[in-house]
Amino acid sequence: MNANEGERKRRRPGKAPAVEAALVKWIDHARSRNAPLSRPLVREKAETLAASLGEDGFKVSVGWFERFKKRENIVFKKLHGEAAEADTVSRDEWLEQQWVRMRQEYSEESIWNADETGIYFRALPDGTLTFKSDNKRGGKKSKERITALFACSAVGEKKELFVIGKSHSPRCFKHVRTLPVRYAANANAWMTGAIFVEWLKDWDRKLGQERKRILLLVDNCTAHNMKNSTLRNIRLEFLPKKTTSILQPCDQGIIRTAKAYFRKEMARSVLRQIDEGNRAAATDIAKKISLLDAILMLRDAWADVEASTIRNCWRKGGLVMSPEEQPTNVDPPAEISTDEFDQWIVSDDSTPVSEPVTDEDIVSEVQERFGAGTSEEEEEEEDEEEETVVPSRAEMRNAVCILKTGLLHVGFKNFDLLHRFEKEVNLVLDNTLIQGTMDKYMK
């Protein structure tokens, strides 16, 4: 059975649009895994999803099912025995045949890869940090998560980080005018098809303004299905299934390096508070890390990933033939063993990052889309997040003076950098003061 073949014409929605949306998601997910589907099975699933959505009176009539198939361009076909195997092209065959032809029109500067990873941004490793904080128990490990999308070129250029959280307006974002990353949200902090398309189209527009065209490689997950969307400046190509772990550059060490820098800074943040007298358990200190804190640390971690590391990972996957460069190693903090640090880095690698895979997840996504209200998860996150306290301009200027004085006492010598920093801070504060005064008189 093939779903979503060709463009779907504009049409009137069915009598149960939420049920249809959920059923289409379920079909797309099942077919992406080569699962055989039959009419009775799909009809049974429609009634199950309807019940989960609260459509208790919904029944799958023959007429409704036929109209649904027509609206969604769904056709049942007999699957041949080798159909599933046809999707699993080996890495070597793909590199020697398809990749050679595919990349001919593009320089290495124009070849990109993008991939997502899940991050438990408040989770600590087992053992060491707990001992550091007098062995106090802080309860269960936090499962608060975000999804981060990394994109980079074969020469090491990095695109702005894209972070997906659970809350559209977390309290820690209040009064924050700009974020150093692109941000989106849904109930499960997942990459969805709609979010991915919006991100791609925005990038496509910017490339058009720069008169550039790129080749973008992604894995073949459900969320990356462009369906009816058209791109002018991005050629989107899917890596062959079951080869991404040995082929995709982001999976060859790029994301792992970024997560290593993130974990290292997270550990430092917790340890600094313990060393400065915070008597709480390490896990309790980590629970105070806000989404904004995590975003700032993750942005800096991505900035720390060197271009040479990225180029090495492209070479390791066999996509480019550049010479090997000196690898960059991220050493763990002194309080954490190398083995423990390595385990901590990959502890959330198996976290789902894309479209729903269970009925419960599908229902949650569809309810959010059709305005069923804020999920309990999002409400809990907003309750836990502390509102960001915005210091006054005078307090910020005073903080810079305190920083300058303090750095002089610890042997800091880069006075030019400090001077540029102070000038930039004062310029920003003066401009916001002028803008605020203008806004006041314009009212």
pLDDT digits (tens, 9 = 90+) for 127-179: 544 444 444 444 456 679 999 999 999 999 999 999 999 999 999 998 888 89
In-domain check, residue 378: no
In-domain check, residue 111: yes
Residues 6+ apart with CB under 8 A from 194: none
Integer Rg of the chain from CA: 25
Q: In DSSP terms, which residues pair with 214 in a beta bridge? A: 234
With CA atoms as reference, report the closest residue to 362 among 30, 16, 6, 3.
30
Task: Report the CATH number at residue 51.
Answer: 1.10.10.60
Q: In DSSP terms, which residues pair with 183 in a beta bridge? A: 163
In-domain check, residue 110: yes
Q: Both tokens of residue 152?
A: 């980079």
In-domain check, residue 359: no
Type and span of the H or E element at 138: none
| Whether residue 68 is found in the same domain as residue 181 | no
Show which of 87, 107, 138 is a domain's final residue.
87
Task: Please state the domain count of the chain.
Answer: 3
| Whether residue 131 is found in the same domain as residue 159 | yes
pLDDT of residue 181: 97
| Whether residue 338 is found in the same domain as residue 302 | yes
In-domain check, residue 363: no
The per-residue pLDDT for range 403-418, each reduced to its tens digit, is: 877 886 787 878 788 7
In-domain check, residue 387: no
Show which of 87, 109, 143 is a domain's final residue.
87
| Whether residue 209 is found in the same domain as residue 300 | yes
188 close to 365: Cβ distance less than 8 angstroms: yes
| Whether residue 183 is found in the same domain as residue 230 | yes
pLDDT of residue 437: 46
pTM (predicted TM-score)? 0.69
310 close to 254: Cβ distance less than 8 angstroms: yes
pLDDT of residue 251: 93
pLDDT of residue 9: 43
In-domain check, residue 174: yes
| Whether residue 211 is found in the same domain as residue 67 | no
pLDDT of residue 355: 64
| Residue numbers of the domain that contains 425 | 393-442
Calculate helix-pair angle for 291-304, 254-275, nearest 10 degrees.
Answer: 130
Q: What are phi and psi of 10, to 5 degrees?
A: -65, 135
15 close to 64: Cβ distance less than 8 angstroms: yes
In Å, what is the CA distance from 425 to each residue of 358, 399, 400, 433? Answer: 49, 11, 8, 12
pLDDT of residue 58: 87
Low-confidence ranges of the chain (pLDDT < 50): 2-10, 79-89, 128-139, 373-383, 437-438, 440-443
| Whether residue 307 is found in the same domain as residue 399 | no
| Whether residue 52 is found in the same domain as residue 96 | no
| Whether residue 73 is found in the same domain as residue 99 | no
| Whether residue 203 is found in the same domain as residue 165 | yes
| Whether residue 200 is found in the same domain as residue 250 | yes
